Chains A and B, each alone.
Chain A
Amino acid sequence: MKNKLWFLIFCLCSGAAFSQQNQWICKKGETGFFSETVIENISAQNKNVVSIIDIAKREIAVRMNLTDFKFQNHLMEEHFNENYVESEKYPVSIFKGKIQEEIDWGRNGTYDISARGALSLHGVTKDMLLKGKVSISNGQIVLLSNMDIVLKEFNIEVPSLLITKVSEVITVKNKMIYVQK
């Protein structure tokens, strides 16, 4: 009886340890976007994005504080937070998805990768596709990815007066460097 219990506990511990090993983590990921129109170019970058990849479950999760986006023009930053993403009400954006390709995470190389999952932004959760390239080299995974965000789909209004200043589809680019947890 006692033995059985110990065995179980051992299993549990090893299981927990095992699942830990499959997780790769990125604490200072970079996410940026660039909005280009005839009148004005707007760019911003967030260098405090956190992300985890679970290679066994083929899952990826990304989380960012919207107030961490830095703009060249501070007024734009203020408007971004106050009027567009309303970061006081919706402070974080989260993506959680399933990696679609079978990737041999043990082998060095560069692979195409895509993940389908849910993106929450501005109080709206939507099914999205994350596309990119992953480079595996010893002890490090580098993920470069893109996502096209249609502002309307996330209820982010651009007043008609400003449409010429803010493009309606924004390409968000990410760069994450993961290390084993």
Chain B
Amino acid sequence: MKNVIGTIVLVLIHLLASGQDLLDELDKVAKPKKAFAAATFKSTRIINGHSVETIARNHLDFRIAHRFGMLNDGAYNFFGLDQATMRMSFEYGVTDKLMLGFGRSTSQKAFDYFAKYKIVRQSSANGGIPVSITAFGAIDAISLNTSPQFKFYNNMERLTYVGQLLIARKFGERLSMQLSPTFIHRNKVETSADPNDIFALGLGGRIKISKRTSFNAEYFYRLPFSLEKGLQPNPAYHNSLSLGFDIETGGHVFQLHFTNSPGMIERQFITQTEGQWGKGDVHYGFNISRTFSFDKKKKYEK
């Protein structure tokens, strides 16, 4: 009797072993893949400030951004839409981690150049990293003619340097948050009460409303100290707050937003925001981004 049971058990085991599913065999062969968090943000900008995203290798991002006048300009100025400042830029992915960009703003006739590098990427696999970290550096130059109000004695005085560390985490499919410690050094400031160096902390995030749209928010807090003793960030300027939506359609990303900062480069929106939300000094604006691929290798024929 015992033997019979033993045999049956053995036969069953055998059946189980040989009836082993082909799919299980495949699971053994398939290599586990390290999954990086993809698309923490839809664009290289949250609103004004940079996000942890960079442009892919051999891809060119052509961006056009507008900020209109203030909503409290009244009906005569069509609530700000009669005037606009603009920034146009070409931004290129040198590798999947490094991107370079060049832009020109109508405001202050500023040229800006930046580099952005992905240091680490958030990954879910065992021993993964909980956040993505990207480093950002930029130089901008005011190309306005020197004037009695704001004199430039040499070209160095026109420059501003920006360094930022962008630290972001994608919490599941819908929510992403970012912290952006920022340091800005201006070679020349408007008044002697203004410090040359400004430290700021940016906080940004997005919540996806649908597959193709998300709600974004961003705030830059200027820290109340400076490297120069006794100086604080100029109280005539305010912290930048922006709210907006990202809408993607194929190769485009549209970003529509409201912000109290008309400037689109770090120095302008972090250190020189004049408007206040409480007073209705709110600008409507948008960014349009169109990406082109120059990656010939990855083109497949039918």
Query: Which one of B17, B26, B56 lies within 8 Å of A61 (CB-CB)?
Result: B26
Q: Kindly state the separation between the CA atoms of A162 and B251 in the bound complex, as whole angstroms.
A: 11
Smallest Cβ-Cβ distance to B173: which chain A residue: A88
Instruction: Contact check, B39 vs A82: say whether CB atoms are below 8 A apart.
Output: yes
Are A76 and B25 also in contact (CB < 8 A) when A8-B7, A19-B18, A63-B30 are?
no
Instruction: Contact check, A45 vs B29: say whether CB atoms are below 8 A apart.
Output: no
Instruction: Contact check, A12 vs B293: say whether CB atoms are below 8 A apart.
Output: no
Are A51 and B26 also in contact (CB < 8 A) when A71-B298, A82-B38, A162-B249 are?
yes
**Residues in chain B near residue A174, CB distance under 8 A:** none
Whether a CB of chain B sits under 8 angstroms from the CB of A52 is yes
**Residues in chain B near residue A65, CB distance under 8 A:** 30, 33
Are A74 and B35 also in contact (CB < 8 A) when A52-B22, A59-B22 are?
no
**Residues in chain A near residue B279, CB distance under 8 A:** none
Are A44 and B22 also in contact (CB < 8 A) when A74-B293, A81-B38 are?
no
Q: Taking the nearest CB of chain A, how far is it from the CB of B96, in angstroms?
A: 8
**Residues in chain A near residue B300, CB distance under 8 A:** 32, 34, 43-45, 72
Q: Kindly state the separation between the CA atoms of A13 and B59 in the bound complex, as whole angstroms.
A: 56
Whether a CB of chain B sits under 8 angstroms from the CB of A130 is no
- Chain A interface main SS type: mixed
Whether a CB of chain A sits under 8 angstroms from the CB of B229 is no
Whether a CB of chain B sits under 8 angstroms from the CB of A16 is yes
Q: Kindly state the separation between the CA atoms of A12 and B10 in the bound complex, as whole angstroms.
A: 8
Smallest Cβ-Cβ distance to B10: which chain A residue: A8
Give a binary string over B1-36; 1 marks a CB under 8 Å from any A CB, 0 the rest.
001001100100110011001110111011101010
Q: Kindly state the separation between the CA atoms of A82 and B213 in the bound complex, as whole angstroms.
A: 12
Smallest Cβ-Cβ distance to A41: which chain B residue: B302
Instruction: Contact check, A54 vs B293: say whether CB atoms are below 8 A apart.
Output: no
Q: Kindly state the separation between the CA atoms of A89 and B300 in the bound complex, as whole angstroms.
A: 27
Q: Kindly state the separation between the CA atoms of A51 and B18 in the bound complex, as whole angstroms.
A: 18
Interface residues on A, range: 35 or more
Are A70 and B33 also in contact (CB < 8 A) when A16-B17, A61-B23, A61-B26 are?
no
Q: Kindly state the separation between the CA atoms of A71 and B70 in the bound complex, as whole angstroms.
A: 42
Q: Kindly state the separation between the CA atoms of A23 and B293 in the bound complex, as whole angstroms.
A: 42
Instruction: Contact check, A78 vs B30: say whether CB atoms are below 8 A apart.
Output: no
Give a binary string over A10-34; 1 marks a CB under 8 Å from any B CB, 0 the rest.
0110011001000101010000101
Instruction: Contact check, A75 vs B291: say whether CB atoms are below 8 A apart.
Output: yes
Q: Taking the nearest CB of chain B, how far is it from the CB of A164, in angstroms?
A: 10
Q: Taking the nearest CB of chain A, how far is it from the CB of B77, in angstroms?
A: 33
Q: Kindly state the separation between the CA atoms of A60 and B67 in the bound complex, as whole angstroms.
A: 58
Interface residues on B, range: 35 or more
Instruction: Contact check, B14 vs A12: say whether CB atoms are below 8 A apart.
Output: yes
Q: Kindly state the separation between the CA atoms of A123 and B29 in the bound complex, as whole angstroms.
A: 22
Are A161 and B56 also in contact (CB < 8 A) when A72-B299, A96-B22 are?
no
Instruction: Contact check, B18 vs A83: say whether CB atoms are below 8 A apart.
Output: no
Give a binary string over A64-92; 1 marks a CB under 8 Å from any B CB, 0 the rest.
01011011111110110111000011010
Query: Which one of A40, A45, A50 lies within 8 Å of B30 (CB-CB)?
Result: A50
Q: Kindly state the separation between the CA atoms of A49 and B301 in the bound complex, as whole angstroms.
A: 19
**Residues in chain A near residue B38, CB distance under 8 A:** 67, 78, 81-82, 88
Are A54 and B56 also in contact (CB < 8 A) when A72-B293, A74-B293, A75-B291 are?
no
Are A43 and B299 also in contact (CB < 8 A) when A74-B291, A78-B38, A78-B39 are?
yes
Smallest Cβ-Cβ distance to A181: which chain B residue: B25
Smallest Cβ-Cβ distance to B30: which chain A residue: A50
Binding site for A on B (CB under 8 A): 3, 6-7, 10, 13-14, 17-18, 21-23, 25-27, 29-31, 33, 35, 38-39, 55-57, 59, 93, 173, 211-212, 248-251, 291, 293, 295, 298-302
Q: List 29 A-B contacts (CB under 8 A).
A: A1-B3, A5-B6, A8-B7, A12-B10, A15-B18, A16-B18, A27-B29, A34-B302, A36-B302, A44-B300, A61-B25, A63-B30, A68-B33, A70-B298, A71-B298, A73-B251, A73-B291, A73-B293, A73-B295, A74-B55, A74-B56, A74-B59, A74-B291, A78-B39, A79-B250, A81-B38, A83-B211, A88-B38, A162-B250
Q: A61-B26, A73-B295 are in contact. List 4 more A-B contacts (CB 8 A).
A: A34-B300, A65-B30, A76-B251, A78-B38
Which 8 pairs show the lowest CB-CB distances between chains A and B?
Answer: A74-B56, A61-B22, A73-B293, A43-B300, A72-B298, A63-B26, A83-B211, A75-B291
